[in-house]
Amino acid sequence: MNEEKVIIAGFGGQGVMLMGQILSHAATIADLNTTWIPSYGPETRGGTANCAVTIGKERINSPVVSVPDSLVVMNQPSLDKFQKKLKKGGVLIANKSQIPDADYRDDIKVYEVDANKKALEIGNLRVANMVMLGAYIAATGVFSQDEMFAVFEQIFTGKKSELIDLNKQALEAGIQAVGNRVS
C-alpha cells in the first residue's frame, strides 16, 4: 500500500467517527502517516456524519479526500452522496441492512454486508460499525485482524475494556462476511 484514502459515512450515532479514528490509530501504531478529518451534519445523532481517512507510507500533502480509493457507507443517503466520488475500480462496503435495494456503479467492487443483522446476532446493534470495519479491512487488506485487535486493546480502556470482546466478535463477523480471512 502506497496510500489509501477512504471515506466512511452514515447517520450520526452509527459509529462512523470511531471507525475512522480506529483506522488512524492503527496507522500510527504501524508507523504510517495518517490524517482523519470529521464532518458532521447539523444534528449529532440522526444527522449525517462522515470522515475521511488517508493512510500512507509517504508524507500526506492534503487531508482532503476528493476521490476516495474506498468507501464505507452505513445508509442510503451516504451511498447517494459519495458513490459518485469513488474512484473507478474502487472498493465500496455497503450496509445492506440500511441499503436494501441499491443501484451500484458497475466500475467498482461492491461488498454488501448485512451489518445490523450481524450485530444483532452478536448481541448489540451498536457494533454494526465494527462489522463494517471488519469487512473493510478484509476487502482492502489495509490492516490485519490482529492489528485491529491491538488497537481495541489500546483505545477501549477502563470501563470500556468490557467492550473489547464484543468488538472483536463484530470485526470477525465483518471479515467473514467478505469471505476473506485476514491474519
Q: Kindly report the pTM of this predicted structure.
A: 0.93
pLDDT of residue 56: 96
Map grid coordinates 467473514 to a residue.
176
What pLDDT was estimated at residue 154? 94
Could you give the CA distance from residue 140 to residue 123 in angstroms, rounded to a whole number? 27
Find out whether 16 and 8 touch, Cβ atoms under 8 Å.
yes
Whether the Cβ atoms of residue 48 and residue 9 lie closer than 8 Å to each other = yes
Which one is the CATH code of 3-178: 3.40.50.970, 3.40.50.720, 2.60.120.580, 3.40.920.10?
3.40.920.10
d(CA 62, CA 156): 29
pLDDT in tens, 71-116: 999 999 999 999 999 999 999 999 999 998 899 999 999 999 999 9
State the pLDDT at residue 182: 45
Q: Given this model, what pLDDT does residue 43 score?
A: 55
* pLDDT score at 137: 97
pLDDT of residue 94: 97
Residues of the chain short of pLDDT 70, as ranges, are: 1, 41-47, 180-183
